[in-house]
Structure 1
Amino acid sequence: MTADVRASATRATSTDEGRVTLHSFSFGPHYDPGNLGFGPLVCHNDDLVDAGAGYAEHPHTGLEIVTWVLEGALLHHDSTGSSHVVEAGRAQVLSAGSGIRHSEVADPASGRCRFVQAWLAPTTPGGPPTYTRGEAPPVGSGLVEVAGGDGLPIGTAGARLLLARLGPGDAVTLPDDAAQHVFAASGAVSLGDLDLHAGDAVRLTDEPGHVVTATRDTELLVWSFAG
């Protein structure tokens, strides 16, 4: 298989008051011309935010923004009028379309918040912005579509975010798609002769259908791209 392993320790780090962000791709001042994206995926940030801290209102245009909350809860407000608390184990999709403003702050009542946020290029830019959020997938049900497919709708054709919560020895088979970005948000897994630990990722671009086996309690996030 063609596997590009990206260890957690190689991620660029941004810090601000009450916030630490780890970047899987070139981002802002951490410019890396050799790591601008993977298929339509142009950002994969891992944020740890203190209660009450986060991102003040700011604009986005022409992006599909998918957020998965791992710990705590995230307060979301945007210029479409959406205002929600997104708890751990839930996802949100913000389609920026022709332009939107939003803020994201760790809910003070829930303490520290950790979330992973991905940005994808839309298939058809423009259009009105939209916001959706989803219920927590059931535990122990293998790989569950969180966004794309049967999950929350996203405007990037052929893209799916899948989640698995695995105990030691549990295994899942990756989709038969052209490419996958496999991220161990917590725990540890094996993939063939590869071992991934918390924060590690691997980008796979051929021979689909690989089996991932957890060696510890693990939360696994997989972006899968058809075509």
Structure 2
Amino acid sequence: MVEIRQASQRGRGEHGWLSSRHTFSFANYYDPKQVGFSDLLVINDDRVAPARGFGKHPHRDMEIFSYVLEGALEHKDSMGTGSVIVPGDVQLMSAGTGVAHSEFNHSPSEGVHFLQIWIAPAQMGAEPRYQQKHIADDEKRGKLRLVLSPDGAEDSLQLRQDARVYAGRFDGAETAALELDAGRYAYVHVARGSVTVNGVAMTEGDGARLRDERLLTFTDGHDAEVLVFDLRNNEVSELWS
């Protein structure tokens, strides 16, 4: 079963320097039917004005994944990490027992567009850690590249949850398929462009919950970039319900 959430149905946050779309309930946006899917709790689609951003603030017991689509995002945290995240980079901060960080648009003149994604961890109270790597476009072109996994398989970042995240780029005749183990859920987020997933057309900002689907197929892409989440079979993690 494929359940589509259209981009226009997402929550909105307009703050002048920040324009945000919330796939799931977040901050002042609350919808009891949209409180996450399995251990996937947040997909925020954020556009931040030049030289503006989120000041230092704390997190704990959360896997926080940032994926830049345009521009450059500057990250600093209480672990001493400092980096600039650009398109192609995959960044994962495991908050564990607690970490504070800030995120600012690195450019004084250009906007930054990025996704911030939260996944509930399987282990509480772990030591905070930071991971980042660059994945070239050709590694995602016409295929689904594993970017996060529990065991760091295929040179992916290591996630503290039974979940796997893939990134893919599709245009024209490029196609790909992903086979899921029995009983798994999946979530697809179209970050840009348009693509057909299991025969259903999706466009930028759309999301899809997939249950009882053993095979995911991606066809008819038009400058499409997607994130695919292979998740446990539970509607919302008991830790966060």
TM-score (norm 2): 0.89
Is 1:147 the counterpart of 2:148 in the alignment?
A: yes
Q: 167, 171, 177: which is aligned to 1:173?
A: 177
Contact 1:181 1:203 in 2 (8 A): yes
Instruction: Among all aligned residue pairs of Structure 1 and Structure 2, give the percentage whose two residues are the same amino acid.
Output: 33
> For residues 121 and 207 of structure 1, what CA distance do their matches in structure 2 show?
23
Do the aligned partners of 1:175 and 1:224 also contact (CA within 8 Å) in 2?
no
Q: Deviation of residue 34 (structure 1)? A: 1.5
1:72–1:210 distance in 2 versus 1, CA, 3 Å: same
User: Equivalent residue for 1:7?
Assistant: 6
User: Quick one: distance in 1 between partners of 2:107 and 2:93?
Assistant: 22
Q: Which structure 1 segments of 5+ residues have no match?
A: none
Equivalent residue number for residue 41 of structure 2 = 42
For residue 161 of structure 1, give the secondary structure of its aligned residue in structure 2: strand
Letter in 2 for 1:155: R
| Separation in structure 2 between the aligned mates of residue 214 and residue 163 of structure 1, nearest angstrom | 16
Partners of 2:194 and 2:77 in 1: CA distance = 35
> How many angstroms does 1:206 deviate by?
1.0
Partner of 1:83: 82
SS in 1 for 2:215: coil
Which amino acid is the alignment partner of residue 217 of structure 1?
A: D
2:190 aligned partner: 184
In structure 2, the gaps of 5 or more residues are 234-241
Q: Deviations over 1:74-103 (max 9, x none)?
A: 000000000000111111000000111000
Distance 2:157 2:64 in 1: 12
1:166 deviates by: 1.2
Contact 2:3–2:208 under 8 Å retained in 1:
yes
1:74-223 → structure 2 map (5 Å cutoff)? 74-108=73-107, 111-139=110-138, 140=141, 142-148=143-149, 149-150=153-154, 151-157=156-162, 159-177=163-181, 178-223=184-229
Deviating beyond 6 angstroms after TM superposition, the runs of 4 or more aligned structure 1 residues are none
Deviates more, 1:28-37 or 1:62-71: 28-37
Q: Which shows bigger deviation, 119-128 or 134-143?
A: 134-143
Counterpart of 1:22 in structure 2 is: 21
Within 2, Cα distance between the matches of 1:214 and 1:56? 40
**Alpha carbons 1:51, 1:110 under 8 Å: kept:** yes
Instruction: Check whether the contact 1:67–1:117 (CA below 8 A) recurs between aligned residues.
Output: yes
Aligned residues: 225
Give 2:170's aligned amino acid. L
- Structure 1 distance, partners of 2:220, 2:111, is 26
Tell me the residue number matched to 2:236: none
What is the Cα deviation at residue 168 of structure 1? 1.5
With over 3 angstroms needed to count, the CA separation of the structure-2 counterparts of 1:39 and 1:219, relative to structure 1, is: same
Residue 192 of structure 1: CA displacement? 3.3
Counterpart of 2:124 in structure 1: which amino acid? P
Q: 1:206 to 1:110 in 2, by over 3 A?
A: farther
